[in-house]
Amino acid sequence: MGVSLQDVIHQIAREQNVDSALSLISTAARELTRSRVSMIGVLDEENGVVAFPYGSGMQYEELRQCESDVSLASDHGIVAHVAISRRPFRSADVRKEPLYRKLFETTISELAAPVFDLFGRLRAIVNCESDAPDAYTIEDEETILVLASLASVVLERQETHRREQALIQIGITLNKVLEEDELIDRVMSIARDVLNYSACSLFLYDKRKEAFILRGSSSSVFKSQIGVMQYGPKEGVTGWVCSEGSPVLLNDPQSDPRWRGRYLEFPSEQIASYLAVPVAMRGKPIGAIRVIRRKSENKFVDTRFTPSDELVLEAISEEFSAGLANVRNLETIVRSERMIAWGELSAKSSHMIGNRVFALKGDVNELGHILDDKYTHEELKEIQQSLTNNLTRIEEILREFRDFVGATQLTKSEVNLAQVVKESATEYFPRHSESELVLDIAENIPTVLGDESKLRRAIGELVENALHHIGKGIVTVRAFYEPGASAKAGNARIEVIDTGPGVAPDQKQGIFQPFHSTRVKGLGLGLSIVQGIVDAHGGRIYEDGEKGKGAKFVILLPVRDRP
C-alpha cells in the first residue's frame, strides 16, 4: 500500500526540520503522481533564479551534479512559465510545448504548480516529470496543489522560526551594548540580516536643532552626513513617522501625498518598497528606523516589503528603544556618579587652591615688607620663585580638574588605533630615561570610532603612571585585535605593563577612584580620567598584574569591523 496524502500531511505536521519536510513533500509528489522524478525549486529573489535543492528519483540525483538553476529573466521553460503566470501547468506531451526546456531526455509529460507565501508572493515551484504520454490527470494536478500548499506552510514556518531566533538574538545582543553609536550600528546590521533591505537609515530627535537627525546609515554616501542630515516634524514620510509615531509601509511610495523624495540612498524611481517604523521612548516617538528595497532588474521578482516585515521591524525598533533607554540611563548614572566625584573634587581642589592662595598672599605681604625696607637681590629671587611655584601648582590643579570634567565629552572620528598607541606611548616616554620602552603594536587592528586626543591622553597617562612606579625598569606597551564570539564582537586590546611593585588585589578597584594617588603632585585623578575616557568609548579598563611582579593595565575598546 502506497503513501496517502493524509499520511504526508501528518508527517509534515510532526517534522520540524525544514529540509526533511521539503524532501518528504518532493518524494510524496513523485509517488502520488506516479512520476519518474519530482523536484521542489526554491526562488532566489536576489539573483532571480529558481534552484532545486529538493527532489526525488534517480535522475534528480544526476541533475544535482550539474548546473540546473532556472532563470526568470525570460519565459523559457515550464518552470519559468509557472513562476511568471502564477498558475499550475499540465502538459500531456512536452515535445509539443514551445516553452519546454529539456532537463531530462526521456521526459514526455510534465506537471508543475507554484508555491506562494501568505502575501501571494512566489516562493517555490513543485515540478513532476514522467516518461509516459498524458501521464497526469486533473486529480494529479489537485494533489500537486495540495502539496504546494504544504510546502508553503513549511517555508513559512522556516521564515517564522528564523525571525523568532533573530529577535531573540537582538534582545541578547542589544542589552550588552553600552554605547549609543555601537547600538545603532548593531541594530542596522541585525535588520539587514532579517529583512534583506537595500538601504537603512535611523533618525533620532535632537532637542537643540528641534529636528530628527540622521544617526546611522547603511549607505556609504550617507555616513558622511551623520549628525547633519535632518527631517523636520512631519517633513516627508520619514518626518511624519518620526513625529506621529505610526509605521508606514509603501509599495508605491511616489504616489503617497507625503512623499518628498528627500534624502534617499538612491533615486526615487528605483525604489520598489519603503518601510519606516517609529522609535519610541516612554510612549513618545523620538525617531524612526527606515528601510528601502530597490526594484529588481528582473520584473518577475517581487521585492516589496510585507505586513510581516513591518511587524518584524517594529519588534526590532522596540528592542532598540529598550537598548537605547538602557544606554541613556547608564549615561545618566555615570554622569551622576561623576557629579558626586566632581563635588568631592571641587571641595578638595578648593581647599588646595585656598592653601596656595594663602601662601601667595604671604609672599605678596613679604614682598611689601621687603620693598619698604632695605632688601637684597637674593631675597627677591626667593619670593619670586615661591610665587612662581604656587602659581604653577594652581595651574596644575585647574588643568587636572578640567581634564576630569571633560573626560567623557568626545569628538568622534575614525581612529587608527595602532598609530595612536605607538605615537602617544613614544611621545609620553622621556627621551633620556633610565627606563626602557618596549612596543609591540599589531598593524591589523581595525579602526575605532573615538576621540583621538582623549585616547592619546589615556595611553599617555598610563605610560606616565608606569614610569612613576618603576624607577629604573621596563615599560611594555602592546596593542592587538582580540576576536570575539561573533562577527561584530571583537575588541582592540591595549596593555601597558611595567616592572614595578604591582598593585595589591584589594586595591585594584580603588585605584580608579578620584583622589587615589601615591604621587606628590596632582589631585589623584589620573586613572579616574583614563577610566572616564575608556567608559565614554564603550570600552573597559582593569588592572590585571600580579603584586610584586609589576602592574598590567588593560584597555578593551570595541572596533568597527574584523580585520
In this prediction, residue 2 carries a pLDDT of: 64
The residues, ordered by sequence, that sit 6+ positions from 430 with a Cβ below 8 Å of its Cβ are: 467
- Other CB atoms within 10 A of residue 383 CB: 16
Asked whether the whole model's pTM tops 0.75, one would answer no
Q: Are strands 199-206 and 211-217 parallel, antiparallel or unpaired?
A: antiparallel
CATH code of the domain occupying 5-164: 3.30.450.40
**Local confidence pLDDT in tens for the 563 residues of the chain:** 467 888 888 888 888 888 999 999 999 999 999 999 999 988 877 677 778 889 898 878 766 655 556 665 555 678 778 877 889 999 999 888 887 777 778 899 999 999 988 888 888 999 999 999 999 999 999 999 999 999 999 988 888 777 777 777 766 666 666 677 878 888 888 888 888 889 999 999 988 788 899 999 988 888 878 888 899 988 999 999 999 999 999 988 888 899 988 888 888 888 989 999 999 988 899 999 999 998 877 766 778 898 888 988 998 888 888 888 777 766 555 555 554 455 455 555 555 555 555 555 665 666 656 655 655 667 666 766 666 666 666 665 556 555 655 555 677 888 899 999 999 999 888 877 888 999 999 988 888 888 898 899 889 889 988 888 887 899 999 999 988 655 455 789 999 999 999 888 878 777 877 655 555 444 456 787 888 888 888 888 898 888 888 999 999 998 866 66
In this prediction, residue 266 carries a pLDDT of: 85
The answer to whether 293 and 197 have CB atoms below 8 angstroms apart is: yes
Which amino acid is residue 196, in one-letter code?
Answer: N
The answer to whether 38 and 45 have CB atoms below 8 angstroms apart is: no
- Other CB atoms within 10 A of residue 497 CB: 22
Element holding 271 (H helix, E strand): strand 271-281
All CATH 3.30.565.10 domain ranges in the chain, comma separated: 409-563
- Residue 233 cell numbers, joined: 516634524
In this prediction, residue 521 carries a pLDDT of: 47
Within 13 Å and on the Cβ side, how many CA atoms surround 49?
Answer: 9
Nearest to 512 by CA among 525, 527, 502, 497: 527
In this prediction, residue 66 carries a pLDDT of: 56
The answer to whether 26 and 39 have CB atoms below 8 angstroms apart is: yes
In this prediction, residue 443 carries a pLDDT of: 87
Helix axis angle for 138-174 and 18-32, nearest 10°, is 180
Nearest to 344 by CA among 510, 507, 514, 511: 514
d(CA 103, CA 379) in angstroms, rounded, equals: 108
The answer to whether 161 and 312 have CB atoms below 8 angstroms apart is: no
The residues, ordered by sequence, that sit 6+ positions from 358 with a Cβ below 8 Å of its Cβ are: none
All CATH 3.30.450.40 domain ranges in the chain, comma separated: 5-164, 176-324
The residues, ordered by sequence, that sit 6+ positions from 191 with a Cβ below 8 Å of its Cβ are: 197, 200, 289, 291, 313, 316
The answer to whether 190 and 216 have CB atoms below 8 angstroms apart is: no
The answer to whether 439 and 423 have CB atoms below 8 angstroms apart is: no
In this prediction, residue 132 carries a pLDDT of: 93
Per DSSP, what are the bridge partners of residue 90? 111
The answer to whether 57 and 124 have CB atoms below 8 angstroms apart is: no
In this prediction, residue 145 carries a pLDDT of: 93
User: Which letter does DSSP use for residue 26 in this model?
Assistant: H
Q: Which CATH architecture has domain 409-563?
A: 2-Layer Sandwich (3.30)
- Other CB atoms within 10 A of residue 230 CB: 18
Helix axis angle for 526-536 and 307-372, nearest 10°, is 160
Nearest to 37 by CA among 62, 71, 12, 72: 62
In order of 70, 109, 148, 302, the CA distances from 48 in angstroms are 9, 26, 20, 10
In order of 91, 299, 435, 483, 498, the CA distances from 545 in angstroms are 78, 64, 19, 22, 9
Nearest to 121 by CA among 265, 272, 317: 272
In this prediction, residue 94 carries a pLDDT of: 87
Q: Which CATH architecture has domain 176-324?
A: 2-Layer Sandwich (3.30)
- Other CB atoms within 10 A of residue 357 CB: 12
Nearest to 444 by CA among 338, 559, 523, 524: 559
In this prediction, residue 372 carries a pLDDT of: 56
Nearest to 417 by CA among 445, 438, 439: 445
Which amino acid is residue 405, in one-letter code?
Answer: V
d(CA 253, CA 270) in angstroms, rounded, equals: 11
In order of 48, 238, 395, 425, the CA distances from 352 in angstroms are 74, 55, 12, 31
